[in-house]
């Protein structure tokens, strides 16, 4: 049981906060950030933790990296119980939390990396070598000898990511590492994550952006309001919906063709609408591309002229919506 990079067993976390009641009075209040969450991360995978703001992602990451303790349940990281072996856990994890706030702004980028290297007891020559290597990876060599306070927000974010690589840990834990990065920098960062993963590192990656989880992660856990809603590969999550697949057909489509399509065995629904002068047929089916050959044959046999045909699979957004009745995109646009 202990050889997995991460085992989370029935973890709950309740924060106690003081709620102000007037000027001199306050009372205790409780926020349940995690509710009975269990999951395991396999060696060598990129494991995504996907959920809207306030879902509990950072809370779970803080527990994994020993910054806070769970209220109940147990967590093992690289074989060590987090509440008993804090030092071993920290030594075996490369962590990016709090983004730029985890850096010393009065030190240069290079000094930051060397300083954190020293905290991990790297000998000076190794510290320097790793620092140079990381600055090259994250493309910050040009500004490495400037103080961090002069960096742009994106540059700080990249350096914070670089910091997580300094101890060359087998497990990388990254909390929304592309937050505040522009699109090219975000995709560069993901490319480095992939490269590190190819070299054997296990990665835990939190994000509130579905497309990012879909692009990068081998398996994804969807969490919302402290609860684990779903876990699996992106494909598993999509098929777990058992939802209908959607196919759009554009062209000249006579009524009898629509009727013929409705009679097809795997078709649940077919409806026709006008779109920019052409007719668009929307087919709702239990299968996606599998029914395409038959669909095309039936349409042509019934006098249709097909100009465009596009199957559309449900995405992670559909999975989130199916489980919560809310849209993840709506939730995250609020900020």
Ligand X SMILES: Nc1ncnc2c1ncn2[C@@H]1O[C@H](COP(=O)(O)OP(=O)(O)O)[C@@H](O)[C@H]1O
> Among Mg ion, ligand X, none, what does residue 53 contact (CB within 5–8 Å per kind)?
ligand X
> Among Mg ion, ligand X, none, what does residue 15 contact (CB within 5–8 Å per kind)?
ligand X
Residues 31 to 70: which contact ligand X by CB under 6 A? 31, 33, 51, 53-59
By the rule CB under 5 A, 58 interacts with Mg ion:
yes
Residue written as token pair 């042509």: 300
Site size for ligand X (CB under 6 A): 12
Shortest CB 63 distance to Mg ion, Å: 13
Shortest CB 14 distance to Mg ion, Å: 17
Residues 157 to 186: which contact ligand X by CB under 6 A? none
Residue written as token pair 């554009």: 250
> Among Mg ion, ligand X, none, what does residue 56 contact (CB within 5–8 Å per kind)?
ligand X
Shortest CB 145 distance to ligand X, Å: 34
In this structure, what token pair is assigned to residue 122?
Answer: 């790297």
Contacts 24+ apart (CB under 8 A), 295-302: 295/247, 295/249, 295/261, 295/264, 295/267, 298/257, 298/260, 298/261, 298/264, 299/249, 299/253, 299/257, 299/260, 299/261, 301/260, 302/254, 302/256, 302/257, 302/260
- Indicate the angle between helix axes 255-262 and 292-301, nearest 10 degrees: 140
> Among ligand X, Mg ion, none, what does residue 104 contact (CB within 5–8 Å per kind)?
none
3-state secondary structure of 124: helix
Residue nearest to Mg ion (CB): 58
Give the separation between CA 36 and CA 226, rounded to whole angstroms.
8
Give the separation between CA 79 and CA 5, rounded to whole angstroms.
7
The helix, strand and coil proportions of the chain, stated in percent and rounded to the nearest 5, come to: 40, 30, 30
Shortest CB 331 distance to Mg ion, Å: 13
Shortest CB 40 distance to ligand X, Å: 20
> Among ligand X, Mg ion, none, what does residue 191 contact (CB within 5–8 Å per kind)?
none
Shortest CB 179 distance to Mg ion, Å: 9
Site size for Mg ion (CB under 5 A): 2
By the rule CB under 6 A, 15 interacts with ligand X:
yes
In this structure, what token pair is assigned to residue 74?
Answer: 């147990």
Nearer to ligand X, 208 or 245 (CB): 208
CA 252 to chain centre: 42
Shortest CB 248 distance to ligand X, Å: 35
β-bridge partners, 34: 13
Nearer to Mg ion, 11 or 261 (CB): 11
By the rule CB under 6 A, 191 interacts with ligand X:
no
Residues that bind ligand X (CB under 6 A): 15, 17, 31, 33, 51, 53-59
Contact residues: Mg ion, CB under 5 A: 57-58
């Amino acid at each position: 049981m202990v050889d997995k990079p991460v085992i989370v067993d029935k973890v709950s976390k309740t924060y106690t906060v003081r709620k102000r009641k007037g000027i001199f009075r306050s009372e205790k209040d409780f926020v349940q950030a995690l509710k009975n969450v269990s999951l395991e991360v396999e060696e060598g995978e990129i494991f995504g933790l996907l959920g809207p703001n306030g879902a509990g992602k950072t809370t779970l990451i803080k527990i994994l990296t020993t910054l806070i303790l769970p209220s109940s349940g147990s967590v093992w990281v690289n074989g060590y119980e987090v509440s008993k072996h804090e030092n071993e856990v920290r030594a075996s994890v490369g962590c990016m939390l709090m983004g730029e706030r985890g850096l010393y702004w009065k030190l240069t980028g290079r000094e930051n990396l060397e300083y954190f290297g020293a905290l991990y007891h790297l000998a000076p020559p190794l510290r320097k070598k790793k620092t140079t290597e990381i600055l090259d990876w994250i493309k910050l060599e040009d500004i490495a000898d400037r103080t961090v306070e002069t960096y742009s927000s994106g540059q700080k974010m990249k350096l914070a990511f670089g910091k997580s690589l300094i101890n060359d840990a087998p497990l990388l834990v990254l909390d929304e590492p592309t937050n505040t990065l522009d699109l090219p920098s975000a995709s560069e960062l993901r490319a480095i994550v992939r490269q590190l993963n190819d070299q054997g590192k296990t990665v835990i990656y939190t994000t509130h952006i579905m497309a990012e989880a879909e692009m990068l992660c081998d398996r994804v856990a969807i969490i919302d309001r402290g609860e684990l809603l779903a876990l699996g590969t992106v494909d598993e999550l999509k098929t777990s919906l058992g939802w209908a697949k959607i196919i759009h057909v554009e062209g000249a489509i006579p009524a009898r063709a629509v009727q013929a399509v409705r009679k097809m065995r795997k078709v649940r629904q077919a409806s026709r609408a006008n779109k920019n002068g052409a007719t668009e047929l929307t087919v709702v089916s239990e299968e996606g591309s599998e029914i395409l050959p038959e669909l095309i044959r039936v349409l042509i046999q019934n006098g249709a002229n097909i100009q465009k045909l596009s199957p559309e699979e449900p995405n992670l957004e559909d999975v989130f919506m199916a489980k919560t009745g809310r849209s993840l995109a709506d939730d995250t646009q609020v900020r």
